[in-house]
Structure 1
Amino acid sequence: MATKCNIMTDSCCDFSPEEVEQAGITCLSFTYTEASKPDGGLSGVDDLFQSRSAHDFYSAIENGACPMTSQPSQMVYEEAFEKAIASGIPTVHFALSSGISGAYNGAVTALDRVREKHGGTLPTPIYVVDCLIGSTTQNLFIHAAIEKRDQGVTAEELVAWAEDARFHVHTIFMVDNLDALHRGGRIPKSVAVVGGLLDVKPLLTFNLDGSLAIMGMARGRRKAMRKMAEFYEDFHDSAYEGHVVAIGDADCVADGDSLARMLKPTEHELKVYRSSIGPTIGCHVGPGMYSCCFWGPDRRDDKYNDAKNKGKAAK
């Protein structure tokens, strides 16, 4: 079957280089740097851990490195869009959530500039979608988009699917502390301070607008893992996009594998996508994070939110 559309995304999808090549997608790289240090400190391109291993990267952060991230430049976006136009195949670019990054707006601005260069109309259609999610959640989302592409959907159909499907992706992830997320402006200082004072493991998720929110606390990593498994059991819906879950970790592979084993008994047919949290997201969450992402009911639905809130109260 001839491909009717191509897929482009950014390095926050947490694919491995092998997965990118096998899937035949384009992945645009973020960068990270410690600009305050004369030698650049912990700096590099988010090349999906090709030039620096996950362990080396997170060890540097554990030892005090505090890199900041940058989205792909306008030149990178424009060059990628021009290549997509030259391919003659309509392309859909899935951008990291606008609630935590300027990547979506950067891609839209670059596409407008490319459109102007072509006289206001692109010879090959290109669409930019705000995922409103990122990292492990984006990993699950892009895997599903690739399946849709391989089933022969058009770019327009893929966009229509994505704009609804992004609200059916459910996320819960644990971080050791909230300092890095606050330092990067992803959560308010008041939230970070409360988490630190309580000496608990924060459990976070994505709001509908793509920003981050704390959905609970757990005393210790094992209790956090059990809460994540309970969240999956309560809200996953295999009828939506199949028996699949995505689990990511920031240099704590054993924890991610343990979580996967906890979920397996509930669904023997469960397919697990395992990923390593990449440098871009890793700069903001630090080592020790692990996440669980799956398909479920529409997060815009009041019935879902009522059920989730009742679950919180019960626990």
Structure 2
Amino acid sequence: MAAQCNLIIDSCCDLPLSMLQIEGVDTLNFNYVMSDGDHEDDFYQSITPHEFYEKIRNGETPSTSQASPAAIEAAWRRAAENGIPTVYLCFSSGLSSNYSTAAALLAQVKEEFPDAPLYLVDLMIGSTPEGLLVLEALRQRDSGLSAEELVEWAEQARYFVQTAFMVDDLDALHRGGRIPASVAAAGSALNVKPLLTFDTSGHLALMGAARGRKKGLKQMADFFAKEHDTQGGSPVVLIGNADCPKDAETLRDLLAKQDESITVVQHNIGATIGSHVGPGMVSISFWGGDRRENMSVADRIAAKIKRG
């Protein structure tokens, strides 16, 4: 069945570029800055993952920025001019201003092309979970979902992606303003490996801690055993690593012992996310239950108010 819509995907999905070099998919690169100047997060086309993380190990403290407004506008304009319904599955607004910029530029382009079928979805996740959702979105698109149907699907599917990731420390996340100082201080004081996830508003949340990487990987495998979908959903599991492939292999082996039916896709954590988590991050994402069901009563009320 021919696809009925095109997609725009940003580099924060951390998928290999080869998975996105297909007809009807446009990519947007975020950016990062090191001491030698500005760089595009180009899915590791201009630098290898090991080279990037070695620079951080050697003292680099890269900063990041959203995709350039010019690049975002150009993507919207290409989509409007070709007339094919297009959906941008965007990195979490809770961690970047990229979504608000994309929304403003979409409104601008729509003034010139008022009938253009262009859509924007805030995925409220990023990195490995964003990659998992993108892979399934591609499958849904290829199975015949229209742009409007894909938007509706993505706005629900984002809450069924379960994820956990372990970092060596929280310093880089704190420097980048992605977590509060109190959370970073608590992690350092306890001398543990923090485990984080995304909350339902697209922000990072501390979900636990482990005494050492081995125990952390075990906790991630236990999280999968508890939360993954066993009712015939997608068997795909994504494991990401920030230049620590042996840990990714260990986690894969732990998962295989629990469920031999899963399909594990391993990938490198990209430069944008890697700038904030540093080397040594390991992540897992899979399909599970509705994360909104775990919200507190106060958070559920707040979510309803925000939805209007």
* Cα distance in 2, alignment partners of residues 11 and 112 from structure 1: 22
SS at match of 1:55: helix
| Separation (CA, whole Å) in 1 of partners of 2:10 and 2:232 | 25
Could you say which residue in structure 1 is the equivalent of 2:131? 139
Quote the residue 1:48 is aligned against: 43
What's 2:102 paired with? 107
C-alpha distance in 1, partners of 2:296/2:164? Answer: 15
Distance 2:3 2:24 in 1: 11
Q: What SS does the aligned partner of 1:293 have?
A: strand
Cα root mean square deviation, aligned:
1.5
Unaligned runs of 5+ in 2: 298-308
Query: Contact between 2:193 and 2:213, CA under 8 Å: does it hold in 1?
Result: yes
Within-5 A mapping of 1:1-315: 1-22=1-22, 24-34=24-34, 37=35, 39-40=36-37, 43-118=38-113, 121-122=114-115, 124-239=116-231, 241-302=233-294
Which deviates more, 87-96 or 276-285?
87-96
Post-superposition shift, 1:217? Answer: 0.6
After the TM superposition, which of the residue ranges 263-272 and 291-300 deviates more from structure 2? 263-272
Whole-Å Cα distance in 1 between the matches of residues 91 and 234 of structure 2?
23
1:161-196 superposed Cα distances (whole Å, 9 cap, x missing partner): 110110000110000000000000000011101111
| CA deviation vs aligned residue, 1:86-129 (integer Å, no higher than 9, x gap) | 222101101110111111111101101111223xx13x301100
1:23 is displaced (CA, Å) by 6.5
| Gap regions ≥5 residues in structure 1 | 307-315
For 1:66 and 1:213, the matched residues in 2 are separated by 23
**In percent, how many aligned pairs have the same letter?**
48
SS at match of 1:301: helix
Q: Note the C-alpha offset of 1:305.
A: 7.5
Separation in structure 1 between the aligned mates of residue 220 and residue 191 of structure 2, nearest angstrom: 18
Counterpart contact for 1:10–1:30, Cα < 8 Å: yes
- Matched letter for residue 249 of structure 1: N
Question: Equivalent residue of 2:243, what SS?
Answer: coil
Instruction: Report if the CA contact (8 A) 2:8-2:88 is conserved.
Output: yes
Task: Tell me by how many angstroms 1:22 deviates.
Answer: 3.9
1:278 Cα offset (Å): 0.1
10-19 vs 227-236, greater mean Cα deviation: 10-19
| d(CA) in 1 for partners of 2:256, 2:144 | 31
Task: Please tell me the residue identity of whatever aligns with 2:107.
Answer: D
Shift of 1:240: 6.2
Aligned to 2:303: none
Residue identity opposite 1:77 in structure 2:
I
Deviations 1:238-286 (A, max 9, x none): 4363212111000011111111111012221211121100000000000
Deviation at 1:2, TM superposition (A): 2.1
Runs of 4+ in structure 1 over 4 Å off: none
- How far did 1:25 drift? 1.7
Secondary structure class of the residue paired with 1:247: strand
- Aligned 8 A contact 2:33 2:63 in 1: yes
Q: In 2 relative to 1, CA 296–23 (structure 1 residues): closer, same or farther, beyond 3 Å?
A: farther
**Structure 2 CA distance for partners of 1:239 and 1:84, relative to 1, 3 Å:** farther
- Residues 23 and 146 in structure 1, CA contact (< 8 A), matched pair in contact too: no
Distance 2:135 2:39 in 1: 26
The CA distance in 1 between the partners of 2:49 and 2:195, in whole Å, is: 22
